[in-house]
Amino acid sequence: MRSRSPWRTRVLAALTAAVAVAAGPALGATGASAAPRAAALVPAVDREVQFTADGTTAYGTVHVPAHRAGRRLAAALLLPGSGQTDRNGDQPPALTPHTLAALADALGEDGVMSLRFDKYGTGRTGLGGRPSTPDMAAFTRQAVAAYDTLRAQPEADPRASLVVGHSEGGLQALLVGRAAGAKPAGLALIAPQDMRLLDMIDFQVADLLDRAVAAGQLTASQAQTNKRGVTRAIADFRAGRPVDTSGLLPFLSTLLDGMFGPVNADFVRSDDALSPPSVARGVAPGTRTLVTCGTADANVPCRTVPPLVSALAAARTTGPGLRVLSGVDHLLHPAGTPENDAPLAPSVRRALHDFVRPWRQRPAN
């Protein structure tokens, strides 16, 4: 799940100067000026917004933290992970980690407003009458429309536009940065997709099978047979040949049949065509970037991240760069905590806090 110097100077709060001239025994005949009063405090608010992309209306939530009236705020577009992940980072009813809602809260603590939205296939947005999942380019156009909607909010500082993406949203953040007319000042790639989609699936399945062997749930021979079958199925799909998953473990057959079937095939093919490091080399020089990996993340382990980080360095980006988060899982929780309703790991909050340092504002009191 986005020129360089203006935003580094904080936008000062608008002050109203009330000058009172009084005569009396305490002030004497000359009078005095009252001290300037601070601008009124605007309380925090979540408001519903909608926007249109490719003729489909999408729905989202803008979170505006408490701030002084007239103050413009850095504004972050939040992009979710893969699958039917809604504006809050949930796949209800089973998976409700509230990942994006928690990121919005964490950013709000530093005075950064945000927009999160129901992407195609989720929440109020749905598929917009489509019979199948749109391709990656359609998701990017939708995200760019969301980005433009956020920049147009009355509280948003257009010189401090950010994009924060989790998992697949990390790749989408790079794509938004490339496609947006007004380039983001910063990109935060949180446990991001860092390789081609089907290479990642192949890697993740192999790791899962190895762990099943270690747990005594499969024999080494069974694991090897299924690894070869998954690799072969991926090669057949990429080559446009018929894919046969009949010899695989049932859960693997279900996974691949769902990905390669008519509902998702166009999206999978379009995502798999993208190499995140290649996309990252097109990020505008000077963009402040953050990349995180958790040492307890089985989906995006830290050992796979270096090519993406190197590509961002080659693009002459700035900022915190890579942050390795000890003991943090893919849902940004401390390892071993429940998937649902667990708070963000403190190290995630610290990484975000460091990322928004140039745009951070003290909490309004």
Same domain, residue pair 128 and 213: no
Asked if the structure places residue 291 within a domain, the reply is: yes
Distance CA 197, CA 274 (A): 8
Residues 96 and 236 in one domain: no
pLDDT at position 4: 36
**Do 298 and 181 sit in the same domain of this protein?**
yes
208 and 189 in one domain?
no
231 and 150 within one domain: no
- Indicate whether 86 and 215 sit together in one domain: no
**Quick one: 62 and 179 in the same domain?**
yes
Q: What is the pTM of this model?
A: 0.88
Measure the CA–CA gap between 332 and 33, rounded to whole angstroms: 53
User: Number of folded domains in the chain?
Assistant: 2
Residue-wise DSSP of 205-260: HHHHHHHHHHTTSS-HHHHHHHHHHHHHHHHHHHHT-----TTS-HHHHHHHHHHH
Residue 193: which of 60, 323, 300 has the closest Cα?
Answer: 300
Q: What is the pLDDT along the chain (365 residues), one digit of tens a residue?
A: 333 333 333 332 332 233 232 333 333 333 444 555 678 999 999 999 999 999 999 999 999 999 999 999 999 999 999 999 999 999 999 999 999 999 999 999 999 999 999 999 999 999 988 889 999 999 999 999 999 999 999 999 999 999 999 999 999 999 999 999 999 999 999 999 999 999 999 999 999 999 999 999 999 999 999 999 999 999 999 999 999 999 999 999 999 999 999 999 999 999 999 999 999 999 999 999 999 999 999 999 999 999 999 999 999 999 999 999 999 999 999 999 999 988 999 999 999 999 999 999 876 55
Give yes or no: residues 284 and 135 share one domain: yes
Q: Based on the domain organization, do 174 and 68 belong to the same domain?
A: yes
Beta bridge partners of 117: 60
Domain range enclosing 311: 41-195+275-359
Is residue 8 included in any domain, yes or no?
no
- Residue 365 inside a domain? The answer is no
187 and 96 together in one domain: yes
**The last residue of a domain, from among 268, 290, 311:** 268
Identify the domain boundary among 231, 248, 268: 268
**Domain-terminating residue out of 237, 268, 299:** 268
Cα 312 → chain centroid = 17
CATH at residue 283: 3.40.50.1820
Per-residue model confidence as pLDDT tens digits over 214-233: 999 999 999 999 999 999 99
Q: Is residue 24 part of a domain?
A: no
In a domain, 30, yes or no: no
Of 235, 213, 233, 234, nearest in space to 223 by CA: 213
